Amino acid sequence: MHIVDRRLNPGGKSLANRQRFLRRAKALVKRAVRDSSKERSIKDLEAGGEVSIPLDGVREPRLRRSGEGGVRDYVLPGNKDYIEGERIPRPPRGGGGGGSQGSPGGEGEDDFRFALTHEEFVDLFLEDLELPDLAKRKLATTEQLSWRRAGFSVTGSPANLALTRTMRNSLSRRIALRRPRPDAIAALEEEIAELERTKDDPIRLEEAREELARMKKRTRAIPWIDPIDLRYRRSEAVPRPVAQAVMFCLMDVSGSMTEHMKDLAKRFFTLLYLFLKRRYKHVEIVFIRHTHEASEVDEETFFYSPETGGTVVSTALEEMIRVMRDRYRPDDWNIYAAQASDGDNTSSDNAKTAALLTEEILPACQYFAYLEVGREDDSPMGFGYRQSDLWRTYDLARTAGAQIAMRKVRHRRDIYPVFRELFAKKGEQKTA
Amino acid sequence: MSLADQKTAKPGMRTGTRRNLPEGLLFEGADWDFDTIQRVFDACEEIAIDELGLDVYPNQVEVITAEQMLDAYSSIGMPLFYKHWSFGKHFASHEASYRKGMRGLAYEIVINSNPCISYIMEENTATMQTLVIAHAAFGHNHFFKNNYLFKQWTDADGILDYLEFAKGFISDCEERYGHGPVEMVLDAAHALMGQAVHRYPRKVRPDLRTEEKRERERRLHEERMYNDLWRTVPTKDKGTPDDADLLRRHALLQLPQENILYFLEKTAPKLAPWQREALRIVRLIAQYFYPQGQTKVMNEGCATYVHYKIMNRLHETGRISDGSMLEFLRSHTNVVYQPQFDEPHYGGVNPYALGFAMMQDIERICETPTDEDREWFPDIAGKGDHMAVLRDIWANYRDESFILQFLSPHLMRQLKMFHVVDDEDEPDLEVRAIHDERGYRKLRRAMARQYDIAHTDPDIQIVDVDLAGDRRLILQHTMLNRVGLEESDTRRTLQHLADLWGYDVLMREVDPETEMVVKEHTASARRRLV
């Protein structure tokens, strides 16, 4: 009997099958992911999890007898008081003989439920989206070293001994120096033994003995493996640039921003973060909130700490420029910015805002998105038509040729479609 | 093949050698290591071979993790298999229900190969490992090696090599022709897998030389027997040329043919060679699993009986402790539990329960028969050596014939079996037989029929091909008890069949009692597969 310990064998043998399954059911799974993401909170989005798809799309048909009609026999255990010839009223849904033959468990037969990993979920969720203006993508100055094979060397640690190469050298050296081969020696020894036995050619015997002695001496003099043969695998360190990005979240936190609006903004920021995370190895986030003055804060404060004051948008832009100069030089970083606001701004500030945006920020950014959030109960017409101060300002800048993505959102369910629209592949939709 | 769908919690395995074990005990507590497994195996082997007289393939026991068990599940228990999305689907659903705790994993998987490979999970306790080794490495192993169906239909020596080949071949095809086309062929082949077995050993086709020899002998015979008088005897009408044509076509295409994949592999006009080979792979694998479906009750009955015997013997001889015995009995009773028909979790007859009960009943009949037993089973009643009887049964029967022969009145009474007939045309169900003097034979016949593949699988044959016309493939489903085919699955499967065949396909459902065509399904080829 053999006992084999397979526990250390690589697991995940089904991975290839799983990928095939996901590919097969891609359209269905994608739809399921979108549907389920509507109900989930943003935080859960990252966790992956269970989705269910209609069974019909992944059915494996076969020829089988129908479950209904005709004459059917059942042999059942556990008779209580039935006697031969007794008639039993037909139970509903033709579950023969009173036994429950329906599918066990409450799950509907039409749905197929299974779990997606985090990566699979996000991948499907963000599929077909593309970051705009990738041509400008910068590579970071911080470089990581990775090891790459680079030929052979004559020194090294025993673990890196290149056996095949070493043996090849040894073989060629032995051939070049004419080291006698073991079978040649064996043949000669045999001949000597034969000659000793027959004793009919003493001259040849003498010659053969000398020859053998010579061969043996040469064998001793030329080693099987010489230190000169040894070769080691050589590796060298290669610097590998790492792409990195920073994401600026700008938000108006003045009194006019309700919790609902902040929630909308947060969802948008989270989606953008997930998306950047997928493209860049390192993504940093900077949160800048503003009322009539702006400051860089941490995430918790950004979303949840109450603040009062007027609204001066340019302060936020100034703060962003400051942070950019301090820590994220546009030469080294891919810069993305998203601004959320209800659209209020002090009228006198509009001109300054527009100037800061077009002259300082946009040239440095890969992408600038402006999201105007509205109340849930705003009528779509009213909200759509009313042009806020900020919107008008940005719209003017845009018509003058600035690259700004602008959208209005007032309901949670709009966030994802708007996001998709902004980053849809082609990228030709630039107008709201 | 799974022992039971339940799982006992156990702390992770720790290593420990044979420290101060009490006299004779193989292990103590739940922990085990490889020495323990070896000791347990040797002890089981001694009982299985020397006392029970089993004859097994060499064993190979492989320890795997729960995750690897899940992997093995999804490719129908085989250690290696070609890649296909349906296995991924099964994996996903097993995984989902396992993670949710809705279902545990089987303790073991055993493969009908030589050497016989048993997978055991690292989470099992030492007692469970003993049970699993007794069950799989000896019970199933003996059955695989000796049952006539397995001997006739499966090649235990070659299966792993063949799967290796199949896996490589399919992945080569994927590389060369793309995932899409390969997937389409495999989808279609899987849909027809149930119609991909030869149910009878085939006639060996004579080669040309023997054919010629036969022809010569026939002529010589005719010459010897020549009598001019025969010429004057009126001959039967030759039949219409149509008939002759049909006969010729049938002979050429080997029709009627119930092995649809075989037929496609040999005759489908549009398939590329690699597609034929892929069909062949699926067909041969279906054939390999063909005996398993027909011997579920016997196979599990045999394995369960063997593990029960071995465990009891180990306990009697003081090799396992009382605690282990109780742990074993607990999971054994779970395995052989048969819910009654009116209980909510009744899911049909449990093959473990029925198989084990019948094996025990046979032992009882051999050793301490009643008058009833002597009357019903004159051949084996009171014969004494029950192991010899059982070994003979395990070798020479399948579920249907086994139940038809050996289901005893005693057991029918014990299980309180009854037979209900559900006729569509009647308002009520009828109790046709119960466990009494008048019902035993009827009950037993009805029970055996439930395991007869002629009753469970639809009878589908390719009957004709319209060679002169549009090359339409014509199939016939001969209905049994007026039960038709499941509509939507049939439509989909026929679509697959039409894609492989390359032309239209027609399926007629015929009621043999009235010889009327009850229903027709058709499908047209969607696009070329290549």
- The 10s digit of each residue's pLDDT in A384-404 is 556 777 888 888 888 877 778
What pLDDT, on the 0 to 100 scale, is given for residue B240? 60
Of B313, B332, B351, which closes a domain?
A: B332
Amino acid at residue number A12: G
Among the partner-chain residues B348, B428, B477, the one whose CB lies closest to the CB of A87 is: B428
Å from B51 to nearest chain A CA?
Answer: 19
Give me B391's structure tokens.
């070994």
Is B492 in contact with B191 (CB distance < 8 Å)? yes
Q: What is the 3-state secondary structure (H, E, C) of chain A?
A: CEEEECCCCCCCCCHHHHHHHHHHCHHHHHHHHHHHHHHCCHHHHCCCEEEEEEHHHHCCCCCCECCCCCEEEEEECCCCCCCCCCEEECCHHHCHHHCCCCCCCCCCCCEEEEEECHHHHHHHHCCCECCCCHHHCCCCCCEEEEEEEEEEECCCCHHHECHHHHHHHHHHHHHHCCCCCHHHHHHHHHHHHHHHHHCCCHHHHHHHHHHHHHHHHHHHHCCCCCHHHCCEEEEEEEEEECCEEEEEEEEECCCCCCHHHHHHHHHHHHHHHHHHHHHCCEEEEEEEEECCCEEEECHHHHHHCCCCCCCCHHHHHHHHHHHHHHHCCCCCCEEEEEEEECCCCCHHHHHHHHHHHHHHHHHHCCEEEEEEECCCCCCHHHHHHCCCHHHHHHHHHHHCCCCCEEEEECCHHHHHHHHHHHHECCCCCCCC
Å from B325 to nearest chain A CA?
Answer: 24
**What residues in B contact A97, CB-CB < 8 Å?**
341, 420, 422, 429
Å from B5 to nearest chain A CA?
Answer: 14
Of the two residues B172 and A96, the one the predictor is more confident about is: B172
What pLDDT, on the 0 to 100 scale, is given for residue B121? 87
Distance of alpha carbon B453 from alpha carbon B395, whole angstroms: 19
Q: Tell me if chain B has a CB within 8 Å of the CB of A78.
A: yes
**What residues in B contact A18, CB-CB < 8 Å?**
88, 91-92
Mean pLDDT of A1-17: 79
What pLDDT, on the 0 to 100 scale, is given for residue B11? 37
Distance of alpha carbon B27 from alpha carbon B314, whole angstroms: 12
What pLDDT, on the 0 to 100 scale, is given for residue B57? 93
In a shared domain, residues B279 and B326: no
Examine the pLDDT at A105 and tell me if it is beyond 50. no
Examine the pLDDT at A138 and tell me if it is beyond 70. no
What pLDDT, on the 0 to 100 scale, is given for residue A431? 38
Examine the pLDDT at A108 and tell me if it is beyond 50. no
Å from A426 to nearest chain B CA?
Answer: 27
Amino acid at residue number B368: T
Q: Please list the residue range(s) of chain A that carry CATH number 3.40.50.410.
A: 242-423
Among the partner-chain residues A2, A74, A78, the one whose CB lies closest to the CB of B420 is: A74
Q: Match domain A242-423 to its CATH number in 3.40.190.80, 3.40.50.410, 3.30.530.80, 3.40.50.2300.
A: 3.40.50.410
pLDDT-based confidence at residue A102 (cuts at 50, 70, 90): very low
Q: Which of residues 267-326 of B touch A (CB under 8 A)?
A: none
> Length of chain A, please?
432
Q: Is B329 exposed, middle or buried (0-12, 13-18, 19+ CB in 10 A)?
A: middle
Domain annotation covers residue B26? no
pLDDT-based confidence at residue A242 (cuts at 50, 70, 90): low
What pLDDT, on the 0 to 100 scale, is given for residue A368? 85
Residue-wise pLDDT tens digits, A24-81: 887 788 777 777 666 555 555 555 667 777 777 788 888 888 877 788 888 899 888 8
Of B437, B455, B473, which closes a domain?
A: B455
CA nearest to B333, candidates B313, B310, B307: B307
Q: Across the interface, do A66 and B483 touch by the CB < 8 Å criterion?
A: yes
Q: Tell me if chain A has a CB within 8 Å of the CB of B179.
A: yes
Å from B341 to nearest chain A CA?
Answer: 5
Q: Tell me if chain A has a CB within 8 Å of the CB of B58.
A: yes
**What residues in B contact A77, CB-CB < 8 Å?**
338, 340-341, 349, 415-417
Phi, psi of B172 (to 5 degrees): -60, -45
**What residues in B contact A17, CB-CB < 8 Å?**
74-75, 83-85, 87-88, 91
Give me B85's structure tokens.
């999305």
Write the CB contacts of A203 (distance below 8 Å, at least 6 apart in sequence): none
Determine the residue of chain A that is closest to B447 in CA distance: A75
**Strand, helix or coil for residue B194:** helix
Domain containing B465 equals 160-200+243-294+458-530
What pLDDT, on the 0 to 100 scale, is given for residue B10? 37
CA nearest to B291, candidates B151, B465, B486: B151
Residuewise pLDDT in 10s, chain B (530 residues):
343 333 333 333 444 444 556 667 888 888 888 888 999 999 999 999 999 999 999 999 999 888 888 887 777 777 788 888 888 888 887 777 777 665 666 677 888 888 899 988 888 889 989 999 999 999 999 999 999 989 888 888 888 888 889 999 999 999 999 888 898 899 999 999 988 888 877 665 556 677 778 888 888 887 787 777 777 777 766 556 567 777 777 777 777 888 999 999 988 888 889 999 999 999 998 988 888 888 999 999 999 999 999 999 999 998 999 999 999 999 899 888 888 888 888 888 889 999 999 999 999 999 999 999 999 999 888 888 899 999 999 999 999 999 999 999 999 999 999 999 988 888 888 898 988 888 899 999 999 998 988 888 889 999 888 877 888 999 999 988 888 888 888 999 999 999 999 889 999 999 888 888 888 898 888 765 44
Distance of alpha carbon A107 from alpha carbon A55, whole angstroms: 12
In a shared domain, residues B359 and B451: yes
What pLDDT, on the 0 to 100 scale, is given for residue B297? 93
Examine the pLDDT at A232 and tell me if it is beyond 90. yes
Per the listing, tokens 């590389």 go with: B175
**What residues in A contact B340, CB-CB < 8 Å?**
77-78
Å from A216 to nearest chain B CA?
Answer: 48
Cα angle at B424 between B423 and B426, to 5 degrees?
65
What pLDDT, on the 0 to 100 scale, is given for residue B205? 59
Sheet holding A2-5, edge to edge: A2-5, B59-64, B116-121, B108-111
Q: Which of residues 33-62 of A touch B (CB under 8 A)?
A: 50, 58-62
> Length of chain B, please?
530
Number of structural domains chain B divides into:
3
In a shared domain, residues B514 and B433: no
Distance of alpha carbon A321 from alpha carbon A324, whole angstroms: 5
Of B423, B455, B487, which closes a domain?
A: B455
Give pTM, 2 decimals: 0.71
What pLDDT, on the 0 to 100 scale, is given for residue B194? 87
Of the two residues A106 and A56, the one the predictor is more confident about is: A56
Write the CB contacts of A72 (distance below 8 Å, at least 6 apart in sequence): A96, B421, B422, B423, B481, B483
Q: Is A368 exposed, middle or buried (0-12, 13-18, 19+ CB in 10 A)?
A: buried
Å from A273 to nearest chain B CA?
Answer: 29
What pLDDT, on the 0 to 100 scale, is given for residue B42? 92
Q: Which of residues 6-25 of A touch B (CB under 8 A)?
A: 6-7, 9, 11-14, 16-25
Domain annotation covers residue B279? yes
Q: How many C-beta neighbours within 10 Å does residue A141 have? A: 12
Q: Which of residues 381-440 of B touch A (CB under 8 A)?
A: 415-424, 427-436, 438-439
Q: Across the interface, do B430 and A86 touch by the CB < 8 Å criterion?
A: yes
CA–centroid distance for A148 within its chain: 24
Domain annotation covers residue B232? no
In a shared domain, residues B80 and B171: no
